Amino acid sequence: MNSKQTIEMIEKLKQTYPDAKCSLNFTTPFEMLVAVILSAQCTDERVNKTTPAIFAQYTKPEDFANMELTVLESLIHPCGFYKNKAKNIKATAQILVEKYHSQVPNTMEELMKLPGVGRKTANVIMLEVFSNPQGVAVDTHCKRIANRIGISKQKEPEKIEQDILKIFPKKYYYDLNHVFIWHGRNICTARNPKCEKCPICMYCQEYQKK
């Protein structure tokens, strides 16, 4: 795929999903950080059903830093892997209080040093909280689309991201983070993808094989 085709493809996706945006609900940077940690191996829908009751009572890093781990585990239980996520959220909250004056840091490097925050989570925070995308958050939808289209043959998210960043100009990072997820949810689904409705099938290697 040449540079002209990559731009055509992203423009077609932008036209198809003009309202594409982050699905997680949040009102503060810290709420977003917690929500993204909870979203690992869990649907955004489930996270959005779980967090309102939590954030109604606990809003600041101090609240989570001082919370009993068993209480936090109980609160986030519906999101799965609750023991590990609770440990990471509490440890991250403690670091924010002690090192960052309870503020979420605004660089990839600092974010990725927080417990439970990998490159994907850091990418989401940089995009949604600070409007400064540094890359593309490769979730299951993005991975599937990149592999099917032929953008990347890699299986590891970080390697897929590097392949994506090589061919798309930085000005499209914001859109890429959203339209790939929406396209994966609506058309390029894991099972029975709706190829006949796909606006970018002409660029897709897997579709061409069919």
Which residues are part of the catalytic machinery?
120, 139
Largest CA distance in the chain: 56
Determine the Cα–Cα distance for residues 174 and 182; give it in Å rounded to an integer.
13
